[in-house]
Chain A
Amino acid sequence: MEPLERLLNLVGLLLETEHPLTFEQISETLDAYRAQNTDTAKRMFERDKDILREYGVPLELRDMDAWGGEQGYLIPKDLYYLPEIAFTPEELGSLLVAAQGGGGDTPVEQAAQKLLYGADGGALAGLSGGPLAAGSDARGSLLLETAQAAQDRRHVRFGYRTSQGKVSERGVDAFAVVFRRGHWYLVGHDRERDDIRAFRLSRFIGDLTDVGPGLDPPAKFSAADHVERGPWVPGGEDLASVAFAPDVAWAAADSFRGASTRGPREDGWVVVEIPMADEQEMAGWILGFGADAEVLEPEDLRAGVVARLEAVRG
């Protein structure tokens, strides 16, 4: 007899039973165990329990009666069955499409397979369009562990390589994981630096170590805003006014979030106003346009760009 058949019968039996069943009762009922001698049957049953629990089947050991004498097994229906989630076909379809873009990530695939039972033609229609992958830089267990640490407010330690190439060990109270433009970040309180920092998961070295309970984030703290405000974002309070050659103006305005076009100059160059958080960073972006860009304002930014160009020209 195939183990799968035995396991399916075991799940069915323990789901439908009204009272907990002892191993003896189970082995009397199921042929697969009855056909073996007691020791073999017992070993088989132990192994089957492990498989079921590994797969997430809530196999529980309960007192047979109020006096707590003997104990027996059952699978509580309310813990076994997936709760009813009232998805519309579009909602379920969109989740299935998201899961499909996973590229063979087992927990995601298993989750999607479980949700499929409620899918009608409408939900399945979306899948025919093929996958739509969000292109994430973090996968598998590190992302899961970090997300779980943030949910559980844990204090964690990990090796980290900064964008400048410096490697060190960090101790962080995990507040949240945030996805931004292809990267997952852990946002939390860095204990050594006593400051809130964002860490890119792709720069972690080795595994995450759980140290113990962590601190709560400050009131009204938004992790997504913290990442959005990072120094690499050309967005902020100050405005830079930049003229672009007509050919590139379209692409330029498109690559700066929050940029607004102010119309053409006399020579045809297009003036674009761009919100700016970090002048050095903004100067870098503009230098990438070479001779196709000219900073008009503010004066500091203009002077900064000129100085950097002169340093290169020699």
Chain B
Amino acid sequence: MAEKRKRTRTVAKTSERLGRMLAIVPYLVQHQGAQMTDVARLFDVPTDQLRRDLNLLFMSGLPPYGPGDLIDVDVDEDGGIWITMADHFARPLRLTRAEALALYLRGTELLSALGRSGAPALASALEKLRDTLGPDMLGDPAAIQGSAAGSPPEQLDALRAAAGDRQRLRIEYFAASTLAWSTRTIEPEEVFSSMGNWYVAAWDVEQDAERLFRADRVRRAEPTGERFSPRGLEGAGRTLYTPSGEDRTVRLRLRPEARWIAEYYATTDRMELDDGSVEATLPAKQLEWVAKLLLRVGPHAEILEPPELVDMVREQARNALANYGR
């Protein structure tokens, strides 16, 4: 059993290295003189592993395997890689169906998040991929669709460029919690979309804390000229809420009509109840927006904690009713 597992692992590793070589060699043939460090970065492989793999190439070639039939790899003193006798590997292996499909799905996601007008090159790239690979690989084009967003936030490119370049930015930002514009100095690290909105995870220099900014609420973004070293802030897939020491704990019992709250917000300690309700804890820096949220679901949510939230929701209702003369 242990023997078998070990073998499976060796096979996986060899297959992975083979796959990488069958992709790297075509790249090297087409990019004579490519830098060792650039190639290592592009193919996400440690430089010494790449060097080991390239050394193996010397030993491979075509029959009759004389000195003139073997692949020749030369690394010059500047780290440039030159390769000859590898014409049979000048083009990569075709995509498998899983690879083609996975790439197409990923492209569809990004196109949907950016909008067609926001990413015309991506739109035509996906069309070409589909047309060239044909129905065997990518089937009926109608079977995979993205619902197009409007247009990407105006400052998205500026934010992404600054994140890639590690440039400090000065931004004008509209904060939903205070409903006001303010100027911030940020160190943008990750640009990502979640639930249809674009965000940038950044370090707020004045606050000296991590903050998440909605890209569509950034009015201006200008580099300050300073560089920063990234702290490794989390990007895509993170919860959209940064917990802090000032958090209030809100515990709710949500009936089926209000369950979406547990799903939409970063709730914790979820407990399913027999009647289809769910109990969940919602962290919040201030209770006011929670009170407004609870106005939406009315009797379908029961407040277990904190007790003062009950009065806050009633007060919100009273204030809103004043608009209607009630």
Contacts and interface: CB of A to CB of B under 8 A. Distances in A.
Q: Do A and B bind each other?
A: yes
Contacts of B291: 290
Contact of B314 (A254, A305, A313): A313
B18 interface: yes
A264 interface: no
Given A91-B121, A107-B96, A312-B314, A179 B108 contact: yes
B320 interface: yes
A305 B298 CA distance: 11
Given A133-B236, A290-B320, A87 B18 contact: no
A151 B320 contact: no
Nearest to B325: A306
Given A108-B103, A117-B92, A16 B62 contact: yes
Contacts of A52: 18
B295 A135 contact: no
Contact of A12 (B62, B94, B295, B316): B62
A310 interface: yes
B257 interface: yes
A287 B295 contact: yes
B88 A224 contact: no
A206 interface: no
A227 B145 CA distance: 10
A204 B42 CA distance: 35
A134 B110 contact: yes
A3 B103 contact: no
B124 interface: yes
Contacts of A37: none
B94 A79 contact: yes
B324 A117 contact: no
A262 B140 CA distance: 43
B318 interface: yes
A165 B29 CA distance: 56
Nearest to B18: A7
Interface residues of A, number: 121
A243 to B, nearest CB: 8
A15 B185 CA distance: 57
B20 interface: yes
Given A8-B18, A13-B62, A101-B236, A224 B147 contact: yes
Contacts of B236: 101, 103, 131, 133-135
A291 B316 contact: yes
B100 to A, nearest CB: 7
Given A99-B106, A312-B314, A57 B93 contact: yes
Interface stretch (B76-84, B158-166, B204-212, B242-250): B158-166
B2 interface: no
Contact of B99 (A8, A15, A111, A314): A111
Interface string B275-286: 011100000000
Given A85-B129, A134-B109, A309-B317, A129 B160 contact: yes
Contacts of A135: 113, 192-195, 236-237
B15 A54 contact: yes
Nearest to B189: A130
Given A114-B23, A248-B179, A176 B295 contact: no
Contacts of B95: 56, 82, 111, 114
Interface string B111-125: 111000001011011
A32 to B, nearest CB: 10
Closest CB pairs A-B (n = 9): A181-B196, A151-B139, A133-B236, A130-B164, A91-B125, A134-B109, A291-B319, A107-B102, A117-B26
5 contacts: A111-B95, A151-B143, A165-B272, A288-B295, A313-B321
Interface of A: 1-5, 7-9, 11-13, 15-16, 29, 31, 47, 50-52, 54-58, 79-88, 90-95, 97-99, 101-103, 105, 107-118, 124, 128-136, 143-144, 147-148, 150-153, 163-166, 175-183, 217, 222-224, 227-228, 247-248, 250-251, 254, 257, 284-285, 287-291, 293-294, 302, 305-306, 308-314
Interface of B: 10-11, 14-15, 17-24, 26-27, 29-30, 42-44, 53, 56-57, 59-63, 65, 88-89, 91-103, 105-113, 119, 121-122, 124-126, 128-129, 132-133, 138-140, 142-147, 149-150, 157, 160-161, 163-165, 174, 176, 179-180, 190-196, 216, 235-237, 256-257, 259-260, 263, 272, 276-278, 291-299, 313-314, 316-324, 326
